[in-house]
Structure 1
Amino acid sequence: MSAEYDPPDDPLVILHEDADVLAVSKPSGLLSVPGKGAHLADCLLARVQAVFPMALLVHRLDRDTSGVMVFALTPHAQKFLGQQFEYRRAKKTYVARVAGVVAEDAGTVDLPLIVDWPNRPVQKVCHETGKQAVTDWAVMKRGADETRLRLMPRTGRSHQLRVHCREMGHPILGDPFYSEDVERWPRLMLHAERLRMSHPTGGPALNLRDPVPF
């Protein structure tokens, strides 16, 4: 993470609220949870708990990724929702703008990942010690020198989508870690558009959506 942290002042956008589950739109540039040090205290969790003191963390998004984040409002809901992610039952859909024109219409990247310790939080592909990471993808739209992709991760490794797109030869635009053309873009062009998962009470499934801002 860069030394300078200047999170946006966007107001809290609530996508879904009931007695057990809260879903909000995380803006790009805001940490999901506090970092080390007072200067990294501002985060989505703190902003949510200022309005919903009972809110509990379930999962995270990278600082520079925007989109749907879900929080639990009871301990039972936190455990239930957490297991949805742990056992890969939560269905996540992201939208990304990537460099270059992707030739194929769809595919799957299956490359194991591990942290690159000298350069952390950067991740790297490692077939010997990496953890399984699988991403399905499909082309949404092709431009002159970029492609809009729909990304559907089957696993939830750190920086998974960012590394997998880079390994495809099409890094996500505006990526400060994995793209060499970062200065042209105002932000990382990666957004968590949809999240589908079971509801803790056994009621209708949650189908959460946050429109793509780019």
Structure 2
Amino acid sequence: MNQLAPETRDWLTANHFTVQDEARWIAALTHGSLGEKRDYQRLEFLGDRVLGLTIADWLFVRNPGAEGQLAQRLNALVSKANCAAVAAQLGASDHIRLGKQAREDGAAKSVNVLGDVMESLLGANFLDAGFDATRDLIRTLWASQVEGDTGRSKHPKSALQEWAAGSGYRTPEYELVDRSGPDHSLRFTVRVTVHKVGQAEATENSKREAETAAAKAFMETYG
């Protein structure tokens, strides 16, 4: 297939993508289940980086928060699930090229496939239109998430876990390192560790509160 289906080209144009090299856009919408030479994997790799830089720059300018807060929001906004949500809102499922079995298995609506396709479309747009145009496109497509609550006000333990996963680190480990004081006024000290990153400790009136405070301290130091 060397030409985009007319309805797919119209859909891309209507959503402000810049279509020049049709073979590139066909690849951006092609799942590996078709067994074709070009699918969306390489473009996905590129689009992921363009998206990450754009959102990081956007958050840095708009939000005066600490690094940990920025990292929390960045990870949520560029996550596979959030990319999939943007793709679904655009109606991408109707234009993904899939093998018969993959389509029957519902791959067109899966979070992994939709997330990958969204990133591959951004990669294709970067190659056809350049960074500035793709940055402006991302700012349009992600506006409601950036201006809304995506990635905000998460529980510190959830935020730390998402940060670790998004950064390629192991799951955080919590350890009770001290318990002191009389029964009516116990104090618990908890240490949280992320392998190859560091540790943080906090002391509170309950183990749960100490874990939460340790996670918050970790994100403020390393996030």
TM-score range, shorter chain: under 0.3
Structure of larger gyration radius = 2
Q: Which has the higher strand share?
A: 1
Q: Which has the higher helix share?
A: 2
Q: What is the TM-score with the length of structure 2 in the denominator? A: 0.24
Q: What is the TM-score with the length of structure 1 in the denominator? A: 0.24
